[in-house]
Amino acid sequence: MAEPAGIRVTATRRATVLLAALAALTSLRLVVAGLAPLAPDEAYYWIFSRALAPGYPDHPPMVALWIRAGTAVVGQGALGVRLLGPLAGALGSVLLFDAAERLWPPGSNPPAGGRQPGVAAAVLLNATLLAGVGTVIMTPDTPLLFFWTCCLWALARLLHSAQPAWWLAIGLFAGLALASKYTALLLWIGIGLWLLWVPSQRRWWRSPLLWAGALLGAMVFLPVVLWNASHGWASFERQGGRVGAWKPARAGQFLGELVGGQIGLATPLVFLLFVAGIGWAARRAWQDRDPACALLAALTLPGAALFVQHALGDRVQGNWPAILYPAAAIAAAGLGGRRWLRLRWPAVALGLAITLLVYVQATSFALTLPARIDPIARQLAGWGGLAKSVDAVRRAEAAGCVAADDYGIAAELARALPADVIMLGVEQRWRLFRLPAAALGDAACILVRRAGSGEPVGWREARLIGEAPRSSRDVAVQRFALWRVAGPLPSLPAALLPRYASAMP
Protein backbone atom coordinates (compact mmCIF):
# COMPACT_ATOMS: atom_id res chain seq x y z
CA MET A 1 0.00 0.00 0.00
CA ALA A 2 1.34 3.45 -0.89
CA GLU A 3 2.60 5.64 1.92
CA PRO A 4 0.31 8.65 2.62
CA ALA A 5 1.62 11.95 1.30
CA GLY A 6 1.38 13.60 4.72
CA ILE A 7 3.68 11.02 6.26
CA ARG A 8 6.19 11.46 3.44
CA VAL A 9 6.23 15.24 3.94
CA THR A 10 6.69 14.88 7.70
CA ALA A 11 9.56 12.43 7.23
CA THR A 12 11.21 14.75 4.70
CA ARG A 13 10.96 17.72 7.04
CA ARG A 14 12.36 15.70 9.90
CA ALA A 15 15.29 14.52 7.78
CA THR A 16 15.97 18.11 6.71
CA VAL A 17 16.01 19.31 10.31
CA LEU A 18 18.30 16.49 11.39
CA LEU A 19 20.75 17.05 8.53
CA ALA A 20 20.77 20.79 9.26
CA ALA A 21 21.53 20.08 12.93
CA LEU A 22 24.33 17.69 11.95
CA ALA A 23 25.76 20.28 9.56
CA ALA A 24 25.71 22.93 12.31
CA LEU A 25 27.39 20.56 14.77
CA THR A 26 30.03 19.63 12.21
CA SER A 27 30.70 23.31 11.47
CA LEU A 28 31.17 23.99 15.18
CA ARG A 29 33.57 21.06 15.44
CA LEU A 30 35.59 22.35 12.49
CA VAL A 31 35.89 25.75 14.17
CA VAL A 32 37.05 24.17 17.42
CA ALA A 33 39.45 21.91 15.51
CA GLY A 34 41.04 24.96 13.93
CA LEU A 35 41.27 27.06 17.09
CA ALA A 36 42.33 24.60 19.80
CA PRO A 37 46.10 24.02 20.07
CA LEU A 38 47.41 20.56 19.26
CA ALA A 39 47.99 18.10 22.09
CA PRO A 40 51.44 16.45 22.26
CA ASP A 41 50.15 13.19 20.81
CA GLU A 42 48.56 15.05 17.89
CA ALA A 43 51.83 16.86 17.16
CA TYR A 44 53.56 13.48 17.32
CA TYR A 45 51.10 11.97 14.83
CA TRP A 46 51.69 14.98 12.58
CA ILE A 47 55.33 13.86 12.44
CA PHE A 48 54.00 10.45 11.37
CA SER A 49 52.36 12.20 8.43
CA ARG A 50 55.63 13.85 7.40
CA ALA A 51 57.42 10.49 7.34
CA LEU A 52 54.86 8.14 5.81
CA ALA A 53 55.45 4.43 6.36
CA PRO A 54 53.40 1.20 6.64
CA GLY A 55 53.89 1.25 10.40
CA TYR A 56 55.22 3.19 13.38
CA PRO A 57 56.58 2.30 16.82
CA ASP A 58 53.21 2.89 18.48
CA HIS A 59 50.41 2.40 15.95
CA PRO A 60 49.43 1.40 12.41
CA PRO A 61 49.59 4.11 9.73
CA MET A 62 45.98 5.22 9.26
CA VAL A 63 46.22 8.30 11.49
CA ALA A 64 49.24 9.45 9.45
CA LEU A 65 47.33 9.03 6.20
CA TRP A 66 44.36 10.99 7.53
CA ILE A 67 46.57 13.84 8.70
CA ARG A 68 48.48 13.86 5.42
CA ALA A 69 45.18 14.11 3.52
CA GLY A 70 43.87 16.92 5.72
CA THR A 71 47.06 18.97 5.57
CA ALA A 72 47.21 18.53 1.81
CA VAL A 73 43.82 20.25 1.59
CA VAL A 74 44.01 23.09 4.11
CA GLY A 75 47.67 23.28 5.16
CA GLN A 76 49.79 22.21 8.11
CA GLY A 77 47.89 24.06 10.82
CA ALA A 78 45.65 22.54 13.47
CA LEU A 79 42.65 22.43 11.13
CA GLY A 80 44.65 20.50 8.54
CA VAL A 81 45.77 17.97 11.12
CA ARG A 82 42.20 17.47 12.34
CA LEU A 83 40.15 18.09 9.21
CA LEU A 84 38.97 14.54 8.63
CA GLY A 85 37.81 14.10 12.24
CA PRO A 86 34.67 16.28 12.11
CA LEU A 87 33.88 15.12 8.56
CA ALA A 88 34.18 11.46 9.56
CA GLY A 89 32.01 12.17 12.60
CA ALA A 90 29.27 13.53 10.35
CA LEU A 91 29.38 10.63 7.90
CA GLY A 92 29.61 8.13 10.74
CA SER A 93 26.48 9.63 12.29
CA VAL A 94 24.55 9.09 9.06
CA LEU A 95 25.76 5.48 8.86
CA LEU A 96 24.87 4.87 12.50
CA PHE A 97 21.39 6.25 11.83
CA ASP A 98 20.95 3.85 8.93
CA ALA A 99 22.33 0.90 10.91
CA ALA A 100 19.84 1.46 13.74
CA GLU A 101 16.97 1.78 11.29
CA ARG A 102 17.99 -1.53 9.68
CA LEU A 103 18.40 -3.35 12.98
CA TRP A 104 15.16 -1.97 14.47
CA PRO A 105 12.77 -1.70 11.48
CA PRO A 106 9.05 -1.03 12.12
CA GLY A 107 7.43 -4.15 13.52
CA SER A 108 10.76 -5.69 14.48
CA ASN A 109 10.91 -8.40 17.08
CA PRO A 110 11.97 -7.41 19.67
CA PRO A 111 10.40 -4.01 18.98
CA ALA A 112 12.57 -0.92 19.22
CA GLY A 113 11.82 1.72 21.80
CA GLY A 114 10.31 4.63 19.96
CA ARG A 115 9.50 5.24 16.32
CA GLN A 116 12.91 6.56 15.25
CA PRO A 117 15.73 4.43 16.60
CA GLY A 118 18.14 5.86 14.04
CA VAL A 119 17.65 9.38 15.36
CA ALA A 120 18.06 8.22 18.95
CA ALA A 121 21.25 6.27 18.22
CA ALA A 122 22.94 9.09 16.27
CA VAL A 123 21.94 11.80 18.74
CA LEU A 124 22.99 9.80 21.80
CA LEU A 125 26.40 9.04 20.34
CA ASN A 126 26.98 12.67 19.37
CA ALA A 127 25.94 13.78 22.86
CA THR A 128 28.84 11.92 24.47
CA LEU A 129 31.86 13.92 25.48
CA LEU A 130 34.05 11.22 23.96
CA ALA A 131 32.50 11.73 20.51
CA GLY A 132 32.48 15.49 20.95
CA VAL A 133 36.18 15.58 21.76
CA GLY A 134 37.16 12.62 19.59
CA THR A 135 35.89 14.31 16.44
CA VAL A 136 37.93 17.49 16.99
CA ILE A 137 41.24 15.90 17.91
CA MET A 138 43.22 13.54 15.71
CA THR A 139 44.42 10.28 17.24
CA PRO A 140 44.34 6.68 15.99
CA ASP A 141 40.95 6.36 17.70
CA THR A 142 39.46 8.83 15.21
CA PRO A 143 39.77 6.63 12.09
CA LEU A 144 39.27 3.51 14.23
CA LEU A 145 35.86 4.68 15.46
CA PHE A 146 34.84 5.71 11.95
CA PHE A 147 35.74 2.41 10.29
CA TRP A 148 34.26 0.46 13.22
CA THR A 149 30.99 2.33 12.63
CA CYS A 150 31.22 1.64 8.90
CA CYS A 151 31.64 -2.07 9.62
CA LEU A 152 28.67 -2.05 12.01
CA TRP A 153 26.62 -0.36 9.29
CA ALA A 154 27.63 -3.00 6.74
CA LEU A 155 26.73 -5.76 9.21
CA ALA A 156 23.31 -4.20 9.75
CA ARG A 157 22.83 -4.07 5.98
CA LEU A 158 23.84 -7.71 5.71
CA LEU A 159 21.37 -8.71 8.40
CA HIS A 160 18.60 -6.67 6.81
CA SER A 161 19.14 -7.78 3.21
CA ALA A 162 20.79 -11.22 3.57
CA GLN A 163 22.92 -10.30 0.53
CA PRO A 164 26.32 -12.02 0.84
CA ALA A 165 28.10 -9.27 -1.12
CA TRP A 166 28.03 -7.19 2.04
CA TRP A 167 30.80 -9.42 3.41
CA LEU A 168 33.22 -7.67 1.07
CA ALA A 169 32.38 -4.30 2.63
CA ILE A 170 32.53 -5.80 6.11
CA GLY A 171 35.99 -7.23 5.45
CA LEU A 172 37.25 -3.99 3.93
CA PHE A 173 36.07 -1.86 6.85
CA ALA A 174 37.35 -4.37 9.41
CA GLY A 175 40.76 -4.29 7.72
CA LEU A 176 40.81 -0.48 7.65
CA ALA A 177 39.89 -0.44 11.35
CA LEU A 178 42.76 -2.79 12.13
CA ALA A 179 45.09 -0.56 10.10
CA SER A 180 43.96 2.28 12.39
CA LYS A 181 44.53 0.69 15.81
CA TYR A 182 45.19 -2.82 17.04
CA THR A 183 42.16 -2.86 19.35
CA ALA A 184 40.13 -3.39 16.16
CA LEU A 185 41.00 -7.05 16.68
CA LEU A 186 37.96 -7.00 19.00
CA LEU A 187 35.81 -6.22 15.97
CA TRP A 188 36.99 -9.37 14.21
CA ILE A 189 36.47 -11.40 17.39
CA GLY A 190 32.99 -9.97 17.88
CA ILE A 191 31.91 -10.84 14.34
CA GLY A 192 33.20 -14.37 14.77
CA LEU A 193 31.38 -14.82 18.08
CA TRP A 194 28.17 -13.51 16.52
CA LEU A 195 28.37 -16.01 13.69
CA LEU A 196 28.99 -18.84 16.15
CA TRP A 197 26.32 -17.84 18.67
CA VAL A 198 23.29 -17.16 16.45
CA PRO A 199 21.97 -20.29 14.71
CA SER A 200 20.41 -18.35 11.83
CA GLN A 201 23.78 -16.76 10.97
CA ARG A 202 25.95 -19.89 11.00
CA ARG A 203 25.16 -20.49 7.35
CA TRP A 204 27.50 -17.64 6.48
CA TRP A 205 30.50 -19.81 7.33
CA ARG A 206 29.80 -21.65 4.07
CA SER A 207 29.69 -18.45 2.01
CA PRO A 208 32.72 -17.85 -0.25
CA LEU A 209 32.12 -14.10 0.03
CA LEU A 210 32.61 -14.21 3.80
CA TRP A 211 36.08 -15.67 3.29
CA ALA A 212 36.75 -13.27 0.42
CA GLY A 213 35.88 -10.37 2.72
CA ALA A 214 38.15 -11.73 5.45
CA LEU A 215 40.96 -12.07 2.92
CA LEU A 216 40.38 -8.50 1.71
CA GLY A 217 40.61 -7.21 5.28
CA ALA A 218 43.79 -9.23 5.89
CA MET A 219 45.37 -7.81 2.73
CA VAL A 220 44.62 -4.28 3.90
CA PHE A 221 46.45 -5.05 7.15
CA LEU A 222 49.32 -6.99 5.57
CA PRO A 223 51.65 -3.97 5.08
CA VAL A 224 51.50 -3.34 8.85
CA VAL A 225 52.54 -6.94 9.50
CA LEU A 226 55.40 -6.71 7.01
CA TRP A 227 56.61 -3.44 8.54
CA ASN A 228 56.63 -5.03 11.99
CA ALA A 229 58.47 -8.09 10.68
CA SER A 230 61.23 -5.86 9.29
CA HIS A 231 61.43 -3.68 12.44
CA GLY A 232 61.69 -6.29 15.18
CA TRP A 233 57.89 -6.45 15.73
CA ALA A 234 58.22 -3.05 17.38
CA SER A 235 54.62 -1.87 17.59
CA PHE A 236 53.22 -5.37 18.15
CA GLU A 237 55.51 -5.75 21.16
CA ARG A 238 54.79 -2.26 22.47
CA GLN A 239 51.01 -2.72 22.39
CA GLY A 240 50.98 -6.43 23.17
CA GLY A 241 53.15 -5.84 26.22
CA ARG A 242 50.20 -4.24 27.97
CA VAL A 243 48.27 -7.51 28.10
CA GLY A 244 50.23 -9.27 30.85
CA ALA A 245 50.13 -6.49 33.46
CA TRP A 246 49.04 -7.67 36.90
CA LYS A 247 48.83 -5.38 39.96
CA PRO A 248 45.99 -6.76 42.10
CA ALA A 249 46.79 -4.35 44.94
CA ARG A 250 45.73 -1.45 42.71
CA ALA A 251 42.89 -3.23 40.90
CA GLY A 252 40.23 -1.39 42.89
CA GLN A 253 41.74 1.97 41.96
CA PHE A 254 42.05 1.06 38.29
CA LEU A 255 38.50 -0.33 38.10
CA GLY A 256 37.15 2.80 39.78
CA GLU A 257 39.02 4.98 37.29
CA LEU A 258 37.68 2.90 34.39
CA VAL A 259 34.06 3.21 35.48
CA GLY A 260 34.36 6.83 36.57
CA GLY A 261 36.15 7.78 33.38
CA GLN A 262 33.45 6.25 31.21
CA ILE A 263 30.70 7.96 33.20
CA GLY A 264 32.47 11.23 32.48
CA LEU A 265 33.26 10.56 28.82
CA ALA A 266 29.85 9.15 27.94
CA THR A 267 28.31 11.77 30.29
CA PRO A 268 26.29 10.38 33.21
CA LEU A 269 22.80 9.98 31.73
CA VAL A 270 24.02 8.69 28.37
CA PHE A 271 26.22 6.20 30.23
CA LEU A 272 23.15 4.96 32.09
CA LEU A 273 21.27 4.50 28.81
CA PHE A 274 24.25 2.74 27.22
CA VAL A 275 24.57 0.27 30.10
CA ALA A 276 20.83 -0.39 30.13
CA GLY A 277 20.79 -0.86 26.36
CA ILE A 278 23.71 -3.29 26.35
CA GLY A 279 22.13 -5.23 29.23
CA TRP A 280 18.82 -5.43 27.38
CA ALA A 281 20.48 -6.54 24.14
CA ALA A 282 22.58 -9.16 25.94
CA ARG A 283 19.52 -10.57 27.68
CA ARG A 284 17.57 -10.87 24.43
CA ALA A 285 20.60 -12.38 22.72
CA TRP A 286 20.86 -15.02 25.46
CA GLN A 287 17.15 -15.80 25.61
CA ASP A 288 16.11 -15.65 21.95
CA ARG A 289 19.36 -15.68 19.94
CA ASP A 290 17.97 -12.56 18.29
CA PRO A 291 20.47 -11.70 15.53
CA ALA A 292 20.34 -7.91 15.99
CA CYS A 293 20.68 -8.02 19.77
CA ALA A 294 23.36 -10.70 19.56
CA LEU A 295 25.36 -8.54 17.13
CA LEU A 296 25.29 -5.58 19.51
CA ALA A 297 26.23 -7.79 22.45
CA ALA A 298 29.12 -9.35 20.50
CA LEU A 299 30.50 -5.90 19.63
CA THR A 300 30.39 -4.63 23.22
CA LEU A 301 30.67 -7.39 25.84
CA PRO A 302 34.03 -8.93 24.78
CA GLY A 303 35.62 -5.47 24.72
CA ALA A 304 34.10 -4.52 28.07
CA ALA A 305 35.38 -7.78 29.57
CA LEU A 306 38.87 -7.14 28.17
CA PHE A 307 39.01 -3.63 29.61
CA VAL A 308 37.87 -4.86 33.02
CA GLN A 309 40.51 -7.59 32.90
CA HIS A 310 43.16 -5.03 31.95
CA ALA A 311 42.10 -2.81 34.85
CA LEU A 312 43.03 -5.62 37.26
CA GLY A 313 46.65 -4.94 36.44
CA ASP A 314 47.01 -1.50 34.87
CA ARG A 315 45.24 1.73 34.06
CA VAL A 316 42.76 1.71 31.15
CA GLN A 317 43.04 4.92 29.13
CA GLY A 318 39.69 6.67 28.87
CA ASN A 319 39.61 6.63 25.07
CA TRP A 320 40.10 2.87 24.70
CA PRO A 321 36.42 1.90 25.23
CA ALA A 322 35.34 4.32 22.46
CA ILE A 323 34.90 1.30 20.18
CA LEU A 324 31.98 0.14 22.34
CA TYR A 325 30.00 3.35 21.89
CA PRO A 326 28.42 2.89 18.41
CA ALA A 327 26.83 -0.47 19.25
CA ALA A 328 25.91 0.81 22.72
CA ALA A 329 24.13 3.80 21.14
CA ILE A 330 22.08 1.52 18.89
CA ALA A 331 21.27 -0.74 21.84
CA ALA A 332 20.16 2.27 23.88
CA ALA A 333 17.97 3.36 20.96
CA GLY A 334 16.19 0.00 21.18
CA LEU A 335 15.16 0.44 24.81
CA GLY A 336 11.42 0.47 25.35
CA GLY A 337 9.56 1.71 28.38
CA ARG A 338 8.47 5.20 29.26
CA ARG A 339 11.25 5.84 31.78
CA TRP A 340 13.96 5.21 29.20
CA LEU A 341 12.24 7.28 26.53
CA ARG A 342 11.84 10.17 28.96
CA LEU A 343 15.53 10.04 29.83
CA ARG A 344 16.80 10.46 26.28
CA TRP A 345 16.50 14.19 25.77
CA PRO A 346 17.75 15.19 29.24
CA ALA A 347 20.72 12.89 28.56
CA VAL A 348 21.36 14.58 25.21
CA ALA A 349 21.02 18.08 26.67
CA LEU A 350 23.43 17.34 29.52
CA GLY A 351 25.95 15.71 27.20
CA LEU A 352 25.95 18.56 24.71
CA ALA A 353 26.22 21.15 27.50
CA ILE A 354 29.29 19.43 28.94
CA THR A 355 30.84 19.15 25.49
CA LEU A 356 30.22 22.84 24.77
CA LEU A 357 31.94 23.77 28.03
CA VAL A 358 34.96 21.71 27.02
CA TYR A 359 35.01 23.39 23.60
CA VAL A 360 35.04 26.84 25.21
CA GLN A 361 37.88 25.91 27.53
CA ALA A 362 39.92 24.25 24.76
CA THR A 363 39.74 27.32 22.51
CA SER A 364 39.99 30.12 25.08
CA PHE A 365 41.14 28.69 28.45
CA ALA A 366 38.52 31.01 29.90
CA LEU A 367 38.44 29.16 33.22
CA THR A 368 41.59 29.64 35.28
CA LEU A 369 41.93 26.37 37.17
CA PRO A 370 44.77 24.66 39.02
CA ALA A 371 46.67 22.42 36.61
CA ARG A 372 45.88 19.29 38.61
CA ILE A 373 42.15 19.64 37.86
CA ASP A 374 42.40 21.06 34.33
CA PRO A 375 43.27 18.22 31.91
CA ILE A 376 42.65 20.52 28.94
CA ALA A 377 45.32 23.00 29.96
CA ARG A 378 47.69 20.17 30.91
CA GLN A 379 47.53 18.93 27.34
CA LEU A 380 47.05 22.04 25.21
CA ALA A 381 48.16 25.23 26.90
CA GLY A 382 51.39 27.17 26.68
CA TRP A 383 53.49 25.33 24.10
CA GLY A 384 54.07 28.50 22.07
CA GLY A 385 55.26 30.39 25.15
CA LEU A 386 57.58 27.54 26.09
CA ALA A 387 59.07 27.57 22.58
CA LYS A 388 59.77 31.31 22.85
CA SER A 389 61.54 30.85 26.18
CA VAL A 390 63.60 27.94 24.84
CA ASP A 391 64.61 29.86 21.73
CA ALA A 392 65.67 32.86 23.80
CA VAL A 393 67.93 30.61 25.89
CA ARG A 394 69.29 28.98 22.73
CA ARG A 395 70.28 32.34 21.30
CA ALA A 396 71.80 33.48 24.58
CA GLU A 397 73.88 30.30 24.77
CA ALA A 398 74.82 30.46 21.06
CA ALA A 399 73.53 26.90 20.67
CA GLY A 400 72.87 25.54 17.22
CA CYS A 401 69.84 23.38 17.91
CA VAL A 402 67.14 22.31 20.35
CA ALA A 403 66.58 18.70 21.41
CA ALA A 404 64.11 16.72 23.51
CA ASP A 405 64.19 13.14 24.72
CA ASP A 406 60.42 12.91 25.17
CA TYR A 407 58.42 12.41 21.97
CA GLY A 408 55.58 14.74 22.95
CA ILE A 409 57.85 17.62 23.92
CA ALA A 410 59.93 17.12 20.78
CA ALA A 411 56.85 17.11 18.55
CA GLU A 412 55.34 20.24 20.12
CA LEU A 413 58.61 22.16 19.82
CA ALA A 414 58.99 21.00 16.22
CA ARG A 415 55.77 22.86 15.48
CA ALA A 416 56.29 25.88 17.74
CA LEU A 417 59.95 26.89 17.29
CA PRO A 418 61.04 29.28 14.50
CA ALA A 419 61.61 27.65 11.14
CA ASP A 420 65.38 28.21 11.14
CA VAL A 421 65.94 26.30 14.41
CA ILE A 422 67.10 22.71 14.09
CA MET A 423 64.89 20.44 16.20
CA LEU A 424 66.14 17.01 17.25
CA GLY A 425 64.36 14.02 18.68
CA VAL A 426 66.77 12.03 20.85
CA GLU A 427 64.91 8.88 21.81
CA GLN A 428 65.15 5.28 20.67
CA ARG A 429 61.76 5.34 18.94
CA TRP A 430 63.04 7.78 16.31
CA ARG A 431 65.29 5.05 14.90
CA LEU A 432 62.14 3.41 13.50
CA PHE A 433 61.06 6.50 11.54
CA ARG A 434 61.92 7.51 8.02
CA LEU A 435 63.67 10.63 9.27
CA PRO A 436 67.19 11.89 8.50
CA ALA A 437 69.78 11.20 11.18
CA ALA A 438 71.49 14.21 12.76
CA ALA A 439 75.27 14.58 12.65
CA LEU A 440 75.96 17.02 15.49
CA GLY A 441 79.66 16.61 16.15
CA ASP A 442 80.52 18.77 19.15
CA ALA A 443 77.92 21.46 18.46
CA ALA A 444 76.07 22.80 21.52
CA CYS A 445 72.38 22.10 21.87
CA ILE A 446 69.61 23.06 24.30
CA LEU A 447 68.00 19.91 25.68
CA VAL A 448 64.45 20.33 27.04
CA ARG A 449 63.34 17.83 29.69
CA ARG A 450 60.62 17.65 32.32
CA ALA A 451 61.78 19.33 35.52
CA GLY A 452 63.03 16.86 38.08
CA SER A 453 63.77 14.12 35.57
CA GLY A 454 67.46 13.98 36.44
CA GLU A 455 70.64 14.43 34.46
CA PRO A 456 70.47 13.45 30.78
CA VAL A 457 72.54 10.57 29.50
CA GLY A 458 74.11 10.08 26.09
CA TRP A 459 76.07 13.36 25.99
CA ARG A 460 79.74 14.02 26.73
CA GLU A 461 78.85 17.37 28.28
CA ALA A 462 75.63 18.32 30.08
CA ARG A 463 75.08 21.44 32.20
CA LEU A 464 71.80 22.60 33.75
CA ILE A 465 71.24 26.23 32.80
CA GLY A 466 67.73 26.95 34.01
CA GLU A 467 64.04 26.19 33.86
CA ALA A 468 61.15 27.33 31.68
CA PRO A 469 57.41 27.01 32.43
CA ARG A 470 54.52 26.15 30.20
CA SER A 471 51.66 28.37 31.34
CA SER A 472 47.95 28.95 30.91
CA ARG A 473 46.88 32.51 31.72
CA ASP A 474 50.02 33.03 33.82
CA VAL A 475 49.39 29.83 35.78
CA ALA A 476 52.26 27.35 35.39
CA VAL A 477 50.97 24.09 33.96
CA GLN A 478 54.31 22.31 33.70
CA ARG A 479 57.97 23.13 34.26
CA PHE A 480 60.90 22.07 32.12
CA ALA A 481 64.61 21.84 32.82
CA LEU A 482 66.90 23.34 30.18
CA TRP A 483 70.30 21.71 29.71
CA ARG A 484 73.22 22.84 27.59
CA VAL A 485 74.54 19.65 26.05
CA ALA A 486 77.26 18.83 23.55
CA GLY A 487 79.08 15.84 22.10
CA PRO A 488 76.42 13.17 21.62
CA LEU A 489 77.67 9.62 22.16
CA PRO A 490 77.45 7.22 19.18
CA SER A 491 74.67 5.29 20.92
CA LEU A 492 72.41 8.34 21.14
CA PRO A 493 69.66 8.29 18.49
CA ALA A 494 69.26 11.77 17.07
CA ALA A 495 66.76 12.41 14.28
CA LEU A 496 66.04 15.66 12.48
CA LEU A 497 62.35 16.38 12.98
CA PRO A 498 60.16 18.03 10.33
CA ARG A 499 59.20 21.61 11.07
CA TYR A 500 55.72 23.07 10.98
CA ALA A 501 56.92 26.55 10.08
CA SER A 502 58.80 25.28 7.04
CA ALA A 503 56.77 22.20 6.08
CA MET A 504 55.52 22.01 2.54
CA PRO A 505 51.75 21.39 2.12
pLDDT, tens only, 439-481: 777 789 999 999 998 899 889 999 999 999 999 888 889 999 9
The answer to whether residue 4 scores a pLDDT higher than 70 is: no
Q: Do 488 and 458 form a contact (C-beta atoms < 8 A)?
A: yes
Average pLDDT score over residue span 410-415: 97
**pLDDT > 90 in the chain, percent:** 78
The pLDDT assigned to 440 comes to 75
Confidence of residue 245 (pLDDT cuts 50, 70, 90): low
The pLDDT assigned to 295 comes to 98
Confidence of residue 112 (pLDDT cuts 50, 70, 90): low
Q: Mind listing the pLDDT tens digit for each residue in 187-240?
A: 999 999 999 999 999 999 999 999 999 999 999 999 999 999 999 999 998 887
Beta strands in 382-500 (DSSP E): 401-404, 422-425, 445-450, 459-472, 475-488, 495-496
The pLDDT assigned to 474 comes to 82
The pLDDT assigned to 246 comes to 61
Confidence of residue 498 (pLDDT cuts 50, 70, 90): very high
As a whole number of angstroms, the distance between CA 25 and CA 14 comes to 17
As a whole number of angstroms, the distance between CA 183 and CA 320 comes to 8
The pLDDT assigned to 17 comes to 86
- Give the relative orientation of helices 185-197 and 301-311 as an angle to the nearest 10 degrees: 130
User: What separation in angstroms does the CA of 366 have from each of 104, 357, 376?
Assistant: 43, 10, 11
Average pLDDT score over residue span 78-90: 98
Of the listed ranges 99-103, 146-150, 334-338, 416-420, the least confidently predicted one is 334-338
The answer to whether residue 318 scores a pLDDT higher than 50 is: yes
Residue 488 φ/ψ, nearest 5 degrees: -65, 140
Confidence of residue 16 (pLDDT cuts 50, 70, 90): confident
The pLDDT assigned to 505 comes to 36
